[in-house]
Amino acid sequence: MQEIAYNQQNYFRMQSTLAEYPILRDRIIEAMLNQLVRDQVFSLSEIQVLVTEKAIRSQTREGLNNPFIQEGPAGWEHRLSRIRAHLIIDQYANQYTFNKFIETVNNIVENRPVEKEPDFFWHNVEFASTESIFEQALQLERDSAAGNADTLAALSGAKTVLIRRCLSEDPDFIEVAKKHLKVQDIYEVNQKKIGQGPIGGKAAGFVLARTILQNSADEEIRSTATTRDSYFIGADEFQTFLATNNLLDIYDTCFLPDQERWDRYPFLHQRFQEGALPGNLTNPLRRIIGEIDGRPFIVRSSSLLEDSYRSTVNSIYESVVVPNQGTQEEGLVQLQAAIREMYAQVFNPQAIQYREKKKLVNTPERMGIIIQIIRGHCVGNYFFPDLSGFSVSQSSTRWSPFGKPHELESGYTRFVLGLGSHALYRHSSDFPMFVRLAEPIIPETRKGRIFNHFSQKLVAVINLKSNRVELIDIADIPTEKYPFSLFAAQNQVGGKLQSVQRSSELDRAVLTFHDLIYKTNFVKILRSMMTSLDEGFERPVAIEYSVICDFDKSSIPTFRIQIDKCRPIVKPAALSNAPCQPTGEIRKFIETEFNVIDKLEKQIHYVVVVEPRGNYNRDGLQYWIRTLNRELADASFVFFSRRRFGVADNGPGIRVKFADVQNAAALIELSDPKTGEVNDFPGGTQFYSNMIEIGIAYIPVFLGSRNTLIDWSFFETQPNVVRQFIDLPNEYRGMIRVLPAKGYQGYGSLTLRSSLQDGKTTLYLTR
């Protein structure tokens, strides 16, 4: 297409007229474009090339010497939009009379209330504004519902563009979402969004999950699945924040050596907290705080790389709970600080290491934001949901030998009384409830005289008086004000469990959830929901949820289950290596029937033993574990301990995050019920999810269980070669040992093998 000079009189008259139609201006310009295409003045591809060329030249003219870094996606789209409009008016002014232009304007105005036909070709949908696509796609959806089959192709095209612009750019998600989401669903989400860009993977996942459940053929699912009041910030605002605060240079952080990232992060984090949010967000955020009206809320990440179908980034960004019990201005300040915290976490060394491990560090990350109102009950000064938890529709392992011997688990749930943070983070001595969905049986460790030791004892709540999130003892919850305690707790009397009475206190209570599991339909409903989501997403899924129990009509509660997050499960290749039968002379080192992974085999060079003792510096131990993990990156090794890995508190567990151990082939945890050293199954925690996503196997060993074996002489006789890798300070020597697999009693190699066919996980030595 040749550029031609302006017909100046026509051009300026058209510009002047368009200024009188501020709302319809975009639609008038689209109609002008369609006329030019119909009359073959140019093709869409020709004008797209010219618009792009002019946009690039305009960047140079405006002094952008590195446009990719200096101008975010929102700025680039705005630039393209303005140049495109100018070119369309220019070409139209040279091809048609002003009277023809006025006819086009009048046609748009006259047909505005009800349009029988779209005003632009659907093959031109990429050029249209989002508002125009919504307006006409909604009409197409109404026509389709009325039986007009001719609109289906156009409707599908419109949905594709709207999902990509408003929800997620993941092509696999778009293909699935088109089957379930109506244009009206996408429109309602867009009405809750502020700023530019899609809402990101996590938000898109729970929007799709909510729609699937609300459209279920099962009335029980429809009546139980409730919506959560949510607001969204488009992912393009992240780039705008960086540009506004001169932070674009910190992308280089992703390519620095690991330790240098850790050294720089406190300074970078401070720069983010001092940064100003884009000005276009201030008034909408103030409006959101007004609509929330003093209720607690949570701010979650929703980046474009999170929770995708192909290579999901999962649970690496931490959410921020805002109690919101002050003034609206204080609530706004807390919300803005939480958003800046979400943005800063993109450059957290833990997150960068995770993206490196998944080969995503070269893919630019853009952070969307979810703002969700927390639903719950007020019990005294405390506010919390009745239940919060995590569930998977299909497990990637067979957790216990008591299930079907050669089949994976059909799914499980891990839940707690109170806020979900207590279920998602591992603690040194607390035990969230773990239930298999197919067979909801309370684990044997929760029964007998030691049940109190293996139960949840702390509850995460929002203290409305102190305006803080706190962990409180279950005994601090007054039973007479909390009817759900009848189904969550039992009292321990004389070594036996008895039902809690309304008038009793919870000073001797144990959270067994016995009546919830056996006397209500909670597990059945959750299992049905997981099956429905599994089918809707067309692959296994994992969800986070919260539950409100109502006792309005009966002594048996009804449930309102809110889906807070839903993502497809992606099994990494590192956990999919088909095992071979061992050959030659073998000696078993460790064997267990718990948490068996199908078709896994890895060669192991070192066993790293972590044995904390005394009153040690937990930050220091974490640093040396992380350093050793980095030094052993080129070797294959496993961590071994009697303590829980990945705890979030300062108790007796090992406080590390997944990035501190991410190069390991497996984590082996030893439990001994006789001594009370029992490690809970971490399935559902963020730590465990991170491990599985990057291919680290979790191997629990329960002493005293049938067919459990461990060769203690290996630990007693193999030399400690830790000094070959790190120089431990005196206070940590003996706490971390590196034992080579080669050379033990003449054996040459150590192999980790897990197979459903065998029904066990074995580490064995071969000559």
Region 325-341: what's the mean pLDDT?
Answer: 95
Exposed / middle / buried, residue 252 (Cβ in 10 Å: 0-12, 13-18, 19+): exposed
Rounded to an integer, what distance in angstroms lies between the CA atom of residue 204 and that of residue 222? 20
Q: What are the tens digits of pLDDT across the range 541-594? A: 999 999 999 887 667 888 999 999 999 887 765 555 655 666 667 899 999 988
- Report the number of secondary-structure helices (H) and strands (E) in the chain: 24, 30
State residue 431's pLDDT score: 87
In 3D space, the residue among 26, 33, 52 whose CA is nearest the CA of residue 124 turns out to be 33
Residue 460 scores a pLDDT above 90: yes
User: Phi and psi of 530, rounded to 5°?
Assistant: -65, -40
CB 495 within 8 A of CB 451: no
pLDDT band at 464 (very low <50, low <70, confident <90, very high): very high
Rounded to an integer, what distance in angstroms lies between the CA atom of residue 306 and that of residue 345? 13
For the record, the structure tokens of 316 come out as 């690496």
Q: What is the DSSP string of 299-326?
A: EEEEETTBT-SSS-B-S-S--EEE---S
State residue 71's pLDDT score: 66
State residue 409's pLDDT score: 62
pLDDT band at 441 (very low <50, low <70, confident <90, very high): low
Rank 45-49, 139-143, 229-233 by mean pLDDT and report only the highest: 229-233
Percent of the chain with pLDDT over 70: 88
CB 385 within 8 A of CB 546: yes
Q: Can you give 551-599 as a three-state secondary structure string? A: CCCCCCCEEEEEEEEEEECCCCHHHCCCCCCCCCCEEEEEEECCCEECC
Rounded to an integer, what distance in angstroms lies between the CA atom of residue 558 and that of residue 569? 29
Exposed / middle / buried, residue 53 (Cβ in 10 Å: 0-12, 13-18, 19+): exposed
Residue 414 scores a pLDDT above 80: yes
pLDDT band at 693 (very low <50, low <70, confident <90, very high): confident
Query: Which residues on neighbouring strands pair with residue 389, listed in sequence order?
Result: 415, 545
Residue 115 scores a pLDDT above 60: no
Residue 23 scores a pLDDT above 90: no
* Cβ-based neighbours of 219, under 8 Å, separated by 6 or more: none
Of 43-57, 328-342, 403-417, 638-652, least confident by mean pLDDT is 403-417
Q: What are the tens digits of pLDDT across the range 701-748? A: 988 888 899 999 999 999 999 999 999 999 999 999 999 999 898 888
State residue 1's pLDDT score: 44
Between residues 78 and 292, the one the model is more confident about: 292
Rank 30-44, 646-660, 729-743, 753-767 by mean pLDDT and report only the highest: 729-743
CB 662 within 8 A of CB 353: yes
Exposed / middle / buried, residue 311 (Cβ in 10 Å: 0-12, 13-18, 19+): middle
Region 657-679: what's the mean pLDDT?
Answer: 86
Taking all residues of the chain, what is their mean pLDDT, rounded to a whole number?
Answer: 85
pLDDT band at 299 (very low <50, low <70, confident <90, very high): very high
- Cross-sheet strand order for the sheet of 509-510: 496-499, 490-493, 509-510
Q: What are the tens digits of pLDDT across the range 224-248? A: 888 768 999 999 999 889 988 988 8
Region 367-390: what's the mean pLDDT?
Answer: 93
Residue 369 scores a pLDDT above 80: yes
Quick one: DSSP state of residue 477? Answer: S
State residue 312's pLDDT score: 64
Residue 59 scores a pLDDT above 60: yes
Rounded to an integer, what distance in angstroms lies between the CA atom of residue 161 and that of residue 526? 33
Residue 457 scores a pLDDT above 90: no
Give me the residue spans of the domains in the chain: 8-128, 232-374, 378-568, 573-766
Mapped onto helix, strand or coil, the DSSP state of residue 252 is helix
Cα 75-77-80 angle, rounded to 5 deg:
110
Residue 449 scores a pLDDT above 60: no
For the record, the structure tokens of 214 come out as 């609300």
Rounded to an integer, what distance in angstroms lies between the CA atom of residue 500 and that of residue 512? 11
Rounded to an integer, what distance in angstroms lies between the CA atom of residue 271 and that of residue 257? 21
Percent of the chain with pLDDT over 90: 41
* Cβ-based neighbours of 87, under 8 Å, separated by 6 or more: 47, 50, 51, 54
Residue 393 scores a pLDDT above 50: yes
Residue 537 scores a pLDDT above 90: yes
State residue 4's pLDDT score: 41
Mapped onto helix, strand or coil, the DSSP state of residue 546 is strand
